[in-house]
Amino acid sequence: MQQCTNTAIGIIIVAAGRGERAGSSVEGPKQYRRIGGKPVITHTLARFLAWPKTARIVTVIHPDDAALFEIARSDLVGGENILVCFGGATRQQSVLAGLRALSNGGVTHVMIHDAVRPFIDEDLLERIATGIEAGDTCLLPAMPVTDTLKRGDTAGLVVETVPRAGLFAAQTPQTFSYPAIVKAHEAAKESGRDNFTDDASIAEWAGLAVRLVEGSPDNVKLTLQKDIAMADAKLTRTALPDVRTGNGYDVHQLVPGDGVTLCGIFIPHDQALKGHSDADVALHALTDALLATCGAGDIGDHFPPSDPQWKGAPSRIFLEHAARIVRKAGGTIMNADISLIAEAPKIGPHRQAMREKLSEILAISLDRCSVKATTNETIGFVGRREGIAAIATATVVFAGDAR
Ligand code: MG
């Protein structure tokens, strides 16, 4: 699209309503209710602040809401640049106040948007911008009506079925040439009309051509308490998942013996691992990895080597304990991955049994359990068969939003 360099789009966010249909709340009118942890209007403003073609934003608020608005804009990048003016008794009066507030801003066009439509998306803004570039004076985003429409009488009986062909549900931001809509609004005020429910109606009344632009099904107006609850659920679903990764490392010394226990599986061998417990380096490393996902210290904090009760203990009790701590903290174990570093014995023949053991101990599916092995190419303490090392990684998802 060829960007017309002398286009400057001002934004009016209409937020002066009291929103009685959404019920009363300690958080204030519906535009200040919190969805996804932030006021509705904060989400709406963030969308316009992020759009590169926004030249100026004015928010029209109720005089009683000044403190609420300051809170709502406080965590917006660029929020300090938003102009604020007070609205009037009707929506029409509030929009006119917003239009007048933009009079010195040098804007050529204006988008007039409901504060309670927080799901306005950039694709829709761009479709409107395309209309501006094409020279349209008035642009109305709208969705074709899909429900069958009935006209009823006062007794609650259907009078007729209204053909829905050519019918559209109006959305915002309704967008206009700035001088044209100012003139139409001032003329409407002059003639004593103050009951227009949207700005396209005023443009139509003034004889301006209003072009339909494809709206967005997501660009809904939050009107009722139920709408606010649904918007909150939608944002919470798309919140940042709290995924945490922990790692662990352990080494035990090899001494003469008859076998080693790795990942809970005993493998006959001409050496044994030295340690206070069964010296299962793999499960020790994984225990540390799990504890790390919820800041719960390390294996030594929970099972001090100085404590005689852990002498010869099977290391699965350490891992089970760590899994319990993670789950108590609200975590769901997604993945456990262990790399064994050993010159001997051969791990390959036991890998499947090891994975099945992890799956059983952690109570997670087999495909979430991984065991890998490598030699140390005969170098270093592992290469000289003086010890076996293990590295483990655990991935855990915690309930709630990471922000
Ligand atoms: Mg250890």
Domain harbouring 362, CATH code: 3.30.1330.50
Residue 120 and residue 53 share a domain? yes
Question: What's the CA-to-centroid distance between 359 and ligand 1, angstroms?
Answer: 21
Average pLDDT of the residues in 245-272: 97
Please, are residues 84 and 76 in contact by the beta-carbon 8 Å criterion? Answer: no
Question: What's the CA-to-centroid distance between 69 and ligand 1, angstroms?
Answer: 56
Question: What's the CA-to-centroid distance between 325 and ligand 1, angstroms?
Answer: 19
User: Which of 236, 258, 288 is the last residue before a domain boundary?
Assistant: 236
Question: What's the CA-to-centroid distance between 282 and ligand 1, angstroms?
Answer: 8
User: Which of 211, 236, 261 is the last residue before a domain boundary?
Assistant: 236
Question: What's the CA-to-centroid distance between 290 and ligand 1, angstroms?
Answer: 14
Tell which wins on pLDDT, 275 or 399.
275
Question: What's the CA-to-centroid distance between 329 and ligand 1, angstroms?
Answer: 24
133-136 CB contacts, 8 Å cutoff, 24+ apart: 133/1, 133/2, 133/3, 133/4, 133/7, 136/209, 136/211
Residue 3: per-residue pLDDT: 46
Q: Is residue 256 part of a domain?
A: yes
For residue 283, the SS3 value is helix
DSSP state of 341: E
Residue 254 and residue 229 share a domain? no
Residue 390 and residue 345 share a domain? yes
Question: What's the CA-to-centroid distance between 273 and ligand 1, angstroms?
Answer: 10
Instruction: Using the predicted structure, report yes or no on whether residue 286 has a pLDDT greater than 90.
Output: yes
DSSP labels, 116-162: T-TT--HHHHHHHHHHHHTT-SEEEEEEE--SPEEEE-TTS-EEEEE
Residue 297 and residue 222 share a domain? no
10 bridge partner residues: 56, 110
Question: What's the CA-to-centroid distance between 285 and ligand 1, angstroms?
Answer: 7
Residue 176 and residue 147 share a domain? yes
Domain that holds residue 376: 241-401
User: Which of 236, 261, 289 is the last residue before a domain boundary?
Assistant: 236
Please, are residues 128 and 139 in contact by the beta-carbon 8 Å criterion? Answer: yes
Q: Is residue 3 part of a domain?
A: no
Question: What's the CA-to-centroid distance between 338 and ligand 1, angstroms?
Answer: 14
Question: What's the CA-to-centroid distance between 284 and ligand 1, angstroms?
Answer: 5
Tell which wins on pLDDT, 384 or 400.
384
Nearest Cα neighbor of 369 from 335, 340, 396 is 335
- Sign, CA torsion 14/18/21/25: positive
Q: What is the CA radius of gyration of the chain?
A: 33
Residue 279 and residue 151 share a domain? no
297's tokens: 């210290």
Q: Is residue 4 part of a domain?
A: no
Residue 142 and residue 113 share a domain? yes
Residue 329 and residue 194 share a domain? no
Report the phi/psi class of residue 352: left, alpha or beta, with left for phi > 0 and alpha for psi in -120 to 50: alpha
Percent of the chain with pLDDT over 70: 95
Q: How many helices (H) and strands (E) does the chain have?
A: 12, 19
What angle (nearest 5°) sits at the alpha carbon of residue 120, between those of residues 118 and 126? 155
Orientation of helix 351-362 relative to helix 316-328, angle to 10°: 40
Q: Is residue 245 part of a domain?
A: yes
Average pLDDT of the residues in 111-126: 97
Q: Is residue 211 part of a domain?
A: yes
Residue 323 and residue 225 share a domain? no
Question: What's the CA-to-centroid distance between 279 and ligand 1, angstroms?
Answer: 6
Question: What's the CA-to-centroid distance between 382 and ligand 1, angstroms?
Answer: 15
What Cα–Cα distance (Å) separates residue 50 from each residue in 53, 55, 177? 9, 11, 22
Lowest mean pLDDT among 18-32, 125-139, 290-304: 18-32
Please, are residues 270 and 256 in contact by the beta-carbon 8 Å criterion? Answer: yes
Question: What's the CA-to-centroid distance between 260 and ligand 1, angstroms?
Answer: 13
Place of tokens 């139920």: 226
pTM of whole model > 0.75?
A: no
Q: Which pLDDT band holds residue 215 (cuts at 50, 70, 90)? A: very high
Residue 397 and residue 351 share a domain? yes
Question: What's the CA-to-centroid distance between 283 and ligand 1, angstroms?
Answer: 8
Question: What's the CA-to-centroid distance between 254 and ligand 1, angstroms?
Answer: 12
Residue 249 and residue 232 share a domain? no
What's the domain count of the chain?
2
Residue 33: per-residue pLDDT: 92
Report the phi/psi class of residue 166: left, alpha or beta, with left for phi > 0 and alpha for psi in -120 to 50: left
Average pLDDT of the residues in 20-43: 82
Q: Is residue 306 part of a domain?
A: yes
d(CA 313, CA 320): 13
Question: What's the CA-to-centroid distance between 303 and ligand 1, angstroms?
Answer: 10
Residue 159 and residue 16 share a domain? yes
Write the CATH number for 195. 3.90.550.10
d(CA 114, CA 100): 18
The CB density around residue 242, as the number of other CB atoms within 10 Å, is: 15
Question: What's the CA-to-centroid distance between 330 and ligand 1, angstroms?
Answer: 26
